[in-house]
Structure formats: C-alpha cells, structure tokens
Amino acid sequence: MSESPLRTRCHAIVLAGGASRRMGTRKERLDLNGEPNLLRLCRLLHGMADRVTVVTDARETYSFLPEDIAVVRDRVPDRGPVGGICTGMGVSDAPLQLVAGCDYPLVSEQAWFRLLRQLEANPNADAVVPVAFGKEHPLCAVYRARTLPLWEAALAAGELRVRRTVDRMSTVFRRMEDEEEAEYVNMNEPEDYAAVKERLS
C-alpha cells in the first residue's frame, strides 16, 4: 500500500484525548508487544496515509513518537471525538480522512484498505463506517474531507454524539464478514486489554 497513489490522498487522524475512565489509564500508553498502543497504531496508519496526526488534550506529550507524526491539541477542549475530528481534519486538505480511536488496536492495514477502496468505489458517499458485532464503528472509519462543515456545525451546536453527524452524511455501512469482525474489538476495559494482548501474543 505504501507505493499506492491512494496513500498520497489520505490523512490519518488518531484520537488520543479520551479520559479512559473504564480502562483506568490512558489507552494510548498501554503496552502492546513492547511498544505503546499509540506508536503501534501510528506506525500502521502511516502505511495507509501520507500524513498521520495525533489529536490529544493539552495535558499529554508523546516523546516516543517519531518526528514525522504530528501531535496537535484539541482546538476546543473537552468536546470529545467530534472536537478531535474537527481539529484533525482542519490541519490537512487531503481528500480522504481516516479516523482512528485508540480503542481499535487490532484493525489491520488490509482492513483500512478495504474501507478506502469501498469509499473510492462510491464517489457520492461521504463516508464508509464498518459494522461488526452488530454495532457501527464511526471512530474507526473513513470520511471525505468535504464532511468537515458537518462536523464543525455539530461542534458549534454542542452536538457531540458522533452518530448524529454521521446520520447527516451519505454513509456506506460496511458489514464485516465473520472472519473480519475480530479486528473490531473495542478496547475499553481491562478485560478487553487482556484479550487484545492474548491475541497479539
């Protein structure tokens, strides 16, 4: 994928500013096979996107990230993923925007490529959102840059539910096959972290 011209049209946004209350610690710093979750995720996404931007709150620094990974602070603090998406999309004019939460450490490069390919095959669609385990995963999805005004309008209105903004788009919901679903484990609690570590080992 690294040599594909599609890569030059992609920007990846990693949302790393969550409080992680259920996990009890910052998810981006969790160790996965000897490296921080955030570093592993950025490394994978850099194979898909020409540029990777980590959006975080004002309290965090990540000295373990390489210099070619940008770190920006939430433009408007404490506005959750909607605020993070606005901040991330605002620093890149790439037409395709990959949005990745730190909750999804198992999603492969191939899975991202399938989402990108489906969006490219549907020029009238604004987004491709995966569906796995009967749930939609809009924080592990691909959006067109033209959706930024919708995210900005939601932020201005105080509408912080991601699904509400997705509902205003022309969205393709991609249902995962059984063998694909396991990649979309949502790592929110210590038991999820233990399961992810076991799978990676």
CATH topology of domain 5-196: Spore Coat Polysaccharide Biosynthesis Protein SpsA; Chain A (3.90.550)
- Which residue, among 101, 88, 106, 104, has the nearest Cα to 51 in the 3D structure? 88
Q: Which two tokens stand for residue 61?
A: 């620094």
Strand partners, 73: 56
Whether 55 has a pLDDT exceeding 70, the answer reads: yes
Q: Give the 3-state secondary structure percentages of the chain, helix then strand then coil, rounded to 5.
A: 40, 20, 40
User: What pLDDT is attached to residue 19?
Assistant: 63
User: What pLDDT is attached to residue 111?
Assistant: 95
Q: 57-97 pLDDT, tens per residue?
A: 867 789 999 999 999 999 998 899 999 999 999 999 999 99
State how beta strands 127-132 and 140-144 pair: antiparallel
Q: What is the pTM of this model?
A: 0.93
